[in-house]
Structure 1
């Protein structure tokens, strides 16, 4: 699946980045990140969207490999700086109330925060000393696991019982925790059969989300070429 971008949206995003860099350059001088131009932003976006290597764009954009990697670092740092207080923050109480109400309206599960799933992102350039720590037997190569986080405080009632913590829908690979609601492996009656059908239908949302993420940003579909965990984390925050 090839990524498709709206040129107007990309142009608006780049204008915001350029305006932010101009404001920062008037107050603080940065020696670690290169000045972002449209050509350098194109290099960063192509690395994110199509998983291009930095040296694959040297003839097209006249940018060397090292400069291409620096452009990618500067691009995701700028995006994180722009949107960390609006989109990359932890959800507030108002956000959680809206999420639980929306999930209950759509899926019929009161108090649900979302669905829990994981995705293994291959790590090509992992340090040799860490390969045993990040390698699973079924994968055969180092991977970084991407998954959801802890459940927030949510008050709700089910069948007259009050609960004070939200929960996630999960599949059978996760442990038996109070904040993880899993399906029945072998339902024996109509009630458990219906619950299994509704639970698995609701969990499809997060699986589709990972599929859309990989389709739009092929850097996640291919093995990561960064050398540090922090850079991989910042790339995920950017996309």
Structure 2
């Protein structure tokens, strides 16, 4: 599995803008995989809210259901925030190696893309969350739009499990490395099918994944200066930017396309 390069990023940004979410790179969420043969000694740390041993997959998916990033192996006692804290999803961004993302919303400039996430995620500059129990038509409309687009990753999980019975039912192996290999193989095959059937998922965007530049990005640069790394990480976690971005998106959606997503 490869990370998005510059051409991929440009395409994802175009799709996001077409859905009235400028700067959006996809949706993020976690999937829980039950473990039938989890060793008894591990039950405590693998028990989640389902009261059974589970292992967690964190993934980022786009509208066409392509899974761009994944992080697998955290035990079920962790919630999505704990998983995120250990996930390498923003490693390239913190190291200053990710593709450049620049966009303007409501007169404000932004230099980092974002993912749509549910309410449990942290209020970081790289996440846009819904508004629980939204009041007023503007906020209700934004919540409706965010929740509609965020379902991309949930649909990707559903399709992944419907295609591969081995990840739909409880995991029968206990070795976590073997389970990781199984999940990775299923995600790769899922993406191959998405590419093969891309015409069914896309509209005016030609997602030809064979012609998107380098398939693997290997850094040969010196490690970033520690000060730059710390500053990048602070920018990722900036709550003020998160709040301003959400407010700008609320105004953008309401002012430009108030009829794209129908309120109940």
Taking only aligned residues, the RMSD between alpha carbons, in angstroms, comes to 1.7
Moved >6 Å (runs of 4+): none
Alignment partner of 1:114 is 2:26: yes
Alignment of 1:54-133 (within 5 A): 88-105=1-18, 107-133=19-45
Superposed counterparts of 1:38-49, under 5 Å:
none
Q: What TM-score comes out, normalization by structure 2 length?
A: 0.53
Higher relative contact order (CA 8 A, sep 6+): 2
Q: What does the per-residue CA deviation read over 1:60-84, in whole Å, with 9 as the maximum and x for residues that have no partner? A: xxxxxxxxxxxxxxxxxxxxxxxxx
User: What is the distance in 2 between the residues matched to 1:168 and 1:177?
Assistant: 10
Q: How far apart are the structure 2 equivalents of 1:188 and 1:223?
A: 41
CA distance in 1 between partners of 2:43 and 2:4 (Å) = 34
Structure with bigger helix share is 1
Looking at structure 2, the residues matched to 223 and 144 of structure 1 have their Cα atoms a distance apart, in angstroms, of 10
Name stretches of at least 5 consecutive residues in structure 2 with no aligned partner.
60-68, 70-88, 187-264
Match of 2:170 in 1: 223
Counterpart residue number, 1:181? 128
Larger radius of gyration: 1
- Name whichever structure is richer in strand by fraction: 2
The 1-side partners of 2:46 and 2:104 are apart by 40
CA distance in 1, matches of 2:131, 2:32: 25
Distance 2:8 2:41 in 1: 41
Q: Structure 1: which 5+ runs fail to align? A: 1-87
Q: Name the count of aligned residue pairs.
A: 150
